[in-house]
Amino acid sequence: MSVQVVYRTSVTAIGGRTGKARSDDGRIDVELSTPKELGGDGGAGTNPEQLFAAGYAACFLGALKVAGQQLKLKVPPDASITATVGIVPRSQGGFGITADLAIALPGVDAESAHQLVETAHQICPYSNATRNNVDVVLTIT
């Protein structure tokens, strides 16, 4: 099966959780450090979970805007997503992640907000990539 990729990017990590990550275009160039909760020194760098949370939050907000267009519902300009990502041990061994998305849609009625969030969850590439593999909780705040 052939897939037409509409966008592709690359990021190279060196040194693992205590190292660096840099995108192929240089727009991301970050120091990485391991949180104390995971046995690290809690240094000043970011970590993969923060990067995942930022990506998921931004992507889901973009999907909300597409959902708004499809449903003919207005997504307010001050809408926001707070993604909280956690590391959890898996019963099968190793570790997994959890993602909780707090979705703020100021001024949007509850029924419209629910429609927007459910539609966005079907559109968002992060939601589609994590479905049936990562516990994702969506909360409209």
pLDDT in tens, the chain (141 residues): 578 999 999 999 999 999 999 999 999 999 999 999 999 999 999 999 999 999 999 999 999 999 999 999 999 999 999 999 999 999 999 999 999 999 999 999 999 999 999 999 999 999 999 999 999 999 999
The one-letter code for the residue type at 139 is: T
Distance CA 87, CA 63 (A): 25
Class of domain 1-46: mainly beta
Class of domain 48-140: alpha beta
Distance CA 83, CA 60 (A): 9
Could you tell me if 52 and 42 are in contact, meaning their C-beta atoms sit under 8 angstroms apart?
Answer: no
Measured between alpha carbons, how far is residue 110 from residues 81, 105, 140 in Å? 16, 9, 8
DSSP letters of 21-81? EEETTSS-EEEB---GGGTS---SSB-HHHHHHHHHHHHHHHHHHHHHHHHT-PPPTT-EE
pLDDT of residue 3: 86
Domain ranges of the chain: 1-46, 48-140
pLDDT of residue 40: 92
Return the structure tokens found at 13. Answer: 């990590």
pLDDT of residue 94: 94
Could you tell me if 83 and 56 are in contact, meaning their C-beta atoms sit under 8 angstroms apart?
Answer: yes
